[in-house]
Amino acid sequence: MDACRPEAYNRMICKDFLYRYNASVFSCLIAMRRLLFLLVLSLSLTQAVGAQENAQQDRKESTDQQDQTERQASRQISRLISEKFGIARVKAEQISASVMSAASKYSLPPALLLAIISIESRFKEKARGANGATGLMQVVPSAHKRLVRNIDLTEADANIEAGSAILHGYIQSAQGDVGAALKSYGGSKAYAEKVSLRAKSFEPVAPSRDDAGK
């Protein structure tokens, strides 16, 4: 019996060693898997952040390019208004800026707004027409009381904002039919055709956003 003790003892030692070794290997594997997971997660987060930064940079560059295009168009429009309609340069620049702003806000072609203004008032801010029609886009206060309440329609920014809002509303009511919207704005099919034709003459200096990007 005594002679067997060293052998039994050795087997016990070996088993204990193997157990500890396997436990150590298992712990290392778990640690390596966690480390690998953290590395993959870190890489994914880095890529996501990089993609987001690239997207933001692309949007910024696109916006900057669009702003530059609109500023250039605004300068061309003001020059045309000043030269063709005899409007003071400073006033022409204000009208041009208002047109570009309203066109962007209401998703309207700038050339369309310019065509309406040229026909309705020839770019005269204080123009008066039938039924109390006032200003650049000849807005009729009695027909749009809620919209023009407390608004000075002889002021360029306010008049173009109001006129553009009215036109935008007509377009929505006509389910996107610009011709029908112009007929509602001016009162006749002939008016709508006249504005559409006039708008074409403004398109070279006042392209829509889609056309400007081509």
CATH number at residue 171: 1.10.530.10
Residue with tokens 């966690």: 34
Residue with tokens 């690239």: 54
Instruction: Look at residue 26 in the predicted model and tell me its pLDDT.
Output: 74
Q: Tell me, yes or no, whether 57 lies in a domain.
A: no
CA separation, residue 193 to residues 81, 142, 186 (Å): 22, 25, 10
Q: Which two three-digit tokens encode residue 199?
A: 């708008």
Q: Are residues 31 and 135 in the same domain?
A: no
Average pLDDT over residues 181-187: 96
Task: Specify the 3-state DSSP secondary structure of 122.
Answer: coil
Q: Are residues 143 and 87 in the same domain?
A: yes
Average pLDDT over residues 142-163: 94
CA distance 73 to 208: 10
Q: Tell me, yes or no, whether 170 lies in a domain.
A: yes
Q: Are residues 35 and 138 in the same domain?
A: no
Task: Specify the 3-state DSSP secondary structure of 134.
Answer: strand
pLDDT over 90, % of the chain: 59
To the nearest 10 degrees (0 to 180), the angle between helices 156-173 and 89-106 is: 30
Q: Are residues 15 and 71 in the same domain?
A: no
Average pLDDT over residues 64-91: 85
Instruction: Look at residue 101 in the predicted model and tell me its pLDDT.
Output: 93
Q: Are residues 10 and 79 in the same domain?
A: no
Q: Tell me, yes or no, whether 114 lies in a domain.
A: yes
Other residues' Cβ atoms within 10 Å of the Cβ of residue 40: 10
Q: Compare 177 and 214 and report the one with higher pLDDT.
A: 177
The residue segments making up the domain with residue 36 are: 2-49
Q: Are residues 164 and 113 in the same domain?
A: yes
Helices (H), 86-155: 89-106, 110-120, 145-148
CA distance 85 to 195: 17
Q: Tell me, yes or no, whether 28 lies in a domain.
A: yes
Beta-carbon contacts of 171 under 8 Å, excluding residues fewer than 6 positions away, are: 108, 177, 178, 181
CA distance 180 to 72: 31
Q: Into how many domains does the chain fold? A: 2
CA 81 to chain centre: 27
Kindly report the pTM of this predicted structure.
Answer: 0.69
Residue with tokens 């168009």: 73
Q: Tell me, yes or no, whether 59 lies in a domain.
A: no
Q: Tell me, yes or no, whether 62 lies in a domain.
A: no
Q: Which two three-digit tokens encode residue 39?
A: 């590395």
Q: Are residues 40 and 109 in the same domain?
A: no
